[in-house]
Amino acid sequence: MSQTVTTEPEVSLGFTEEQMMLKELCAQIAREKILPVRAHYDETGEFPWDVVKVMADSDIYGVYIPEAYGGFGGGVLEMCIATEELSKVCGGIALAFAASALGAYPILLFGNDEQKKKYLPEIAAGTKLAAFGLTEANAGSDAGAVETRAELDGDEYVLNGTKQWITNGGEAETYTVIARTKKGAGIRGISAFIVEKGTPGFDFGKKEDKMGIRGSATRELIFQDVRVPKENLLGREGMGFMVAMRTFDKSRPGVAAQALGIAQGAFDEAVKYARHREQFGQPVASFQGLQFMLADMATQIEAARALVYASARMVDAGVKDIGKISAMAKVFASDVAMKVTTDAVQVLGGYGYMKEYPVEKMMRDAKITQIYEGTNQIQRSIIASSIIKESAAKEKRGE
């Protein structure tokens, strides 16, 4: 880290001294650099390059990338710590960091050494952002339905098709793109490629005008006879669906951390307001009905935090089947974020509905965490499927 801060040890989360330094550094960036501009970026929808530069100069982008490729050797846990702290102030601006991790994880997981050496150091330095291109008009929850084509022509693949709702779209330099290399083969006919911004035929469509996370770029990726070297294939042909699913297993705790941060930020605003707002001659925080709301909000947040960091540690420990716990963290934390931010608006009453106060923005930002990287309905299907398989396996073993 290029900056150091001191803090009291946070025993409940079991963070190391270095992780606590990361936590405090990100909190400092959020307070000093993001807080003064979050309303501006929410209003304009511009991309926060000034904040990106601060995060890059502070070495935030490399926390989850191995030292061999220019990073600091951390993992999903460090990525979650940074994402939570940044999201406490602005979930949209935090995505400039978190979405770059989503784009980098396919390379971390499936890239060969040459690919990692070529692309990861610049991502770790924050000089080039990454993005992940999977979603299409007919391939959302059904990730295996991608129609973007990649046809081998000599030593190159030729890509044609359109991706939509791609976070960091147009701003990132390095894209992991999922495309179909074999017709009629279902998920086995899908492959993953690294595509660089500026490649002839690779262009960007409309920038979406969103309800929330407005400080984050969300755009179409358009491929028209885009020629990509064979060397940019991740893994082997037919591994694209696996690349996407294993990437999500790694990245979903990050979405959960974003949701957690948004919830914590909204809760902090609600408590502060309740302490100072007076009605009937006393602070509204003295009324039992509101106290119970705050107690429930705090309990839900702490439960989400425990699950988020438990899932991150399991991923980093190399637990084999992490799909269930990653899905649990994502679905629970995002549901908590939506509940807590809605309740925060209620605590502030009419003021909560006004843009002068940040909780209405936090409620808008929270909603997307229930939708992207797999809707919460899909997450529940993943969890249930895993539970059923585990039960059948135990029965077969006679347990």
What is the rounded CA–CA span in Å between residue 65 and residue 309? Answer: 18
Q: Which CATH class is domain 11-129?
A: mainly alpha
pLDDT grade, residue 3 (50/70/90)? very low
pLDDT grade, residue 278 (50/70/90)? confident
Report the C-alpha dihedral over residues 8, 251, 237, 143, rounded to 10 degrees: 180
- The pTM (predicted TM-score) of the whole model is 0.94
Domain 131-241 grouped into CATH 3.40.190.10 = no
pLDDT grade, residue 225 (50/70/90)? very high
Query: Residue ranges of the domains in the chain?
Result: 11-129, 131-241, 248-396
- Would you mind telling me the total number of residues written for the chain in this entry? 399
pLDDT grade, residue 57 (50/70/90)? very high
State yes or no: pLDDT of 39 exceeds 80: yes
Catalytic residue among 114, 278, 373, 390: 373
Q: What is the pLDDT of residue 2?
A: 38
Q: What is the pLDDT of residue 358?
A: 97
What is the rounded CA–CA span in Å between residue 261 and residue 138? Answer: 31
Environment class of 73 (CB within 10 Å of its CB; exposed 0-12, middle 13-18, buried 19+):
middle
Domain 248-396 grouped into CATH 3.40.50.720 = no
Mean pLDDT of 89-100: 98
Mean pLDDT of 295-323: 96
Q: What is the pLDDT of residues 131-161, one digit of tens each?
A: 999 999 999 888 889 999 999 999 999 999 9
Q: What is the pLDDT of residue 1?
A: 41
State yes or no: pLDDT of 4 exceeds 50: no
State yes or no: pLDDT of 209 exceeds 60: yes
Mean pLDDT of 376-382: 96
Q: What is the pLDDT of residue 244?
A: 96
What is the rounded CA–CA span in Å between residue 103 and residue 177? Answer: 9
State yes or no: pLDDT of 6 exceeds 50: no
On the question of a common fold for 11-129 and 131-241, the answer reads: no
373 part of the active site: yes
What is the rounded CA–CA span in Å between residue 303 and residue 282? Answer: 31
Q: What is the pLDDT of residues 328-375, one digit of tens each?
A: 999 999 999 999 999 999 999 999 999 999 999 999 999 999 999 999
Q: Mean pLDDT across the chain, nearest whole number?
A: 95
